[in-house]
Amino acid sequence: MNLLGTSIVGGSRGLAGSDCFRATAPGTGTALEPAFFAASRDEVDRAVTLATEAFEVYGRLSGAARGELLRRIAAQLESVEPGLIERAHLETALPVVRLRGEIGRTCSQLRLFAQVVEEGSWTTPRIDHGDPNRKPLPKPDVRSMLRPLGPVVVFGASNFPFAFSVAGGDTASALAAGNPVIVKAHPAHPGTSELVGLAIRASISELGLHEGCFSLLFDSRNRVGEELVRHPQIKAGAFTGSLPAGRALFHMAVNRAEPIPFYSEMSSTNPLFILPRALEEFGEKIAEGLFGSFTLGAGQFCTKPGLVFLVRGKAADDFVNALRSKVAESTPSTLLTSGIAEHYRGSLEVRRGNLGTRLLAMGAPASETLATTAVTALLQSEAERFLENPMLAEEHFGPSTLIVECQSSQEFLRCAAVLGGQLTATVHGTEQEIREYADLLRRLEAKAGRVIFNGYPTGVEVGHAMVHGGPYPSTTDVRMTSVGTMAIHRFARPICYQDCPESILPEELRDDNPIGLWRLVDGRFSDAKSC
């Protein structure tokens, strides 16, 4: 593990300039070697220029060739797994078993996108045959399919050092669609980023692809990210992180001379509604599941359930008591950065005793307190207070949740109405009961990208049907998802060919359908070999 700390600019390395930073080990508070060097403006330009050159070639590679790259990256990551885990554990204090699982997920994700592009129907080819004899005018032959956008900038997230970082879902889906990627590394895990970046670079080089397909740039401030988003040759961007940062980058992207698609995945409280009969019958089990979900990864998941709505009564008391003892018995967590931990503690301070909430329970205090230490917290409020204090509906990142007691299920509806856009909303109820709460369900559908029944929002399944997205402020583009195979659509656009000679058409659009794609031919789905 020989880290240089310089940016990866295509096949070369950046310079070791004067603007440098070190990662801090959240588990000990010590600064980690080596120093990492912010990319210079020249390095940003060089990375974008290389990406633009690479696009000319990489954007036209076959799905099979792009799939090979994704598979190679997965294999490379697996081959250096011990080093990745060691460094990531130092930089994030996340447990080794979690990091191992996350690398597994990252590699499966790369292979899933490989499958999608090798198969190829994601390009949604459409063919409308012409008719030279149509009256009054001949009908042209019109064919279209999705094509990549161009160089994409990806911002690594702090809370998933693999699955939402350098080789995470954004990079995998952008590369899969045929776009070169420039990653702005998250400064909280630069060493992990460099190692993953080197694995990607090695894969590109082994396959003889253009070096500009991938670059990784460091910076502990905002400059490099802004230069990338504002660069005229960058054609799309993706970010996972805080609301202020995600919103700022989105505004930069859409207010450029040429606005570009920009996908920020930002802020969600992931409300969970427990309907009365479910609370009565399964309260204890739900308390257990909920505790596991809101403390998973020390509550640092975008899908952490931060608001729990239930109707006052004996069952609610039992539920709250069960949750309270779990929280009281919990041990302290180490958060990813001192900044996240400060924010967690500050928001907790504002919430407890203020805004009509009270602190029901806290975990055991830490024997030795670091700047990154956080104690699990359970807060409680009433619907009336919740409705009066919009701040309570905001995300509180870290191991806490807020129980909102309602007088009646009518108050569920009023509370649901004031919620902002969400990645997820969860309902616990018997089947019969959920049908009775159709109004609530409709309201939640309107607010969230994913509605979960009798489960928990953490643990996002990477598949074809997953939607990890939702109305603002959970994301900046309600039409898209950042997890699952549909994420590839963020980085593509339709191109149409009218009366194009067969020998010039892309394979996907030829009558003989050489790749055997599913296509919409004259309005009908078909995978026929000729049409």
Among 66, 89, 450, 510, binds a copy of itself (CB under 8 A): 450
What's the gap between Cα 192 and its chain centre?
A: 18
Q: Which of 107, 302, 406, 415 is catalytic?
A: 302
431 lies in the site for a copy of itself, by CB under 8 A: yes
For residue 221, the minimal CB distance to a copy of itself (Å) is 25
For residue 430, the minimal CB distance to a copy of itself (Å) is 9
Q: State the residue for tokens 């409308």.
A: 128
What's the gap between Cα 517 and its chain centre?
A: 29
Site for a copy of itself in 27-66 (CB under 8 A): 56, 60
Is 302 catalytic? The answer is: yes
Site for a copy of itself in 149-208 (CB under 8 A): 149-150
Of 368 and 431, which has the nearer Cβ to a copy of itself? 431
For residue 331, the minimal CB distance to a copy of itself (Å) is 22
User: For residues 435 and 207, what is the distance between their CA atoms, to the nearest angstrom?
Assistant: 54
CA end-to-end span of the chain? 54
Q: What would the two tokens of residue 58 be?
A: 């990489």
Of 59 and 283, which has the nearer Cβ to a copy of itself? 59
User: For residues 406 and 267, what is the distance between their CA atoms, to the nearest angstrom?
Assistant: 24
User: For residues 70 and 167, what is the distance between their CA atoms, to the nearest angstrom?
Assistant: 10
Strand partners, 405: 310, 382
Q: Among candidates 142, 134, 131, 213, which has minimal Cα distance to 178?
A: 213
Total residues found in the chain within this entry: 531
Of 162 and 262, which has the nearer Cβ to a copy of itself? 262
21 lies in the site for a copy of itself, by CB under 8 A: no
What is the DSSP code string of 267-330?
-----EEE-HHHHHHHHHHHHHHHHHHHHGGGG-STT---EEEEE-SHHHHHHHHHHHHHHHHP
Question: How would you classify the pairing of strands 142-148 and 152-155?
Answer: unpaired
Q: Which of 91, 118, 265, 395 is catalytic?
A: 265
- Span from 253-261, 309-317, 340-348, 357-365 in contact with a copy of itself (CB under 8 A): 253-261
Among 1, 31, 96, 254, binds a copy of itself (CB under 8 A): 254
Of 31 and 254, which has the nearer Cβ to a copy of itself? 254
Among 481, 488, 508, 510, binds a copy of itself (CB under 8 A): 481
Among 25, 48, 88, 434, binds a copy of itself (CB under 8 A): 434
Of 374 and 466, which has the nearer Cβ to a copy of itself? 466
User: For residues 276 and 318, what is the distance between their CA atoms, to the nearest angstrom?
Assistant: 13
317 lies in the site for a copy of itself, by CB under 8 A: no
User: For residues 162 and 84, what is the distance between their CA atoms, to the nearest angstrom?
Assistant: 9
Tell me the site size for a copy of itself, rule CB under 8 A: 76
473 lies in the site for a copy of itself, by CB under 8 A: yes
Which residues are identified as catalytic? 265, 302
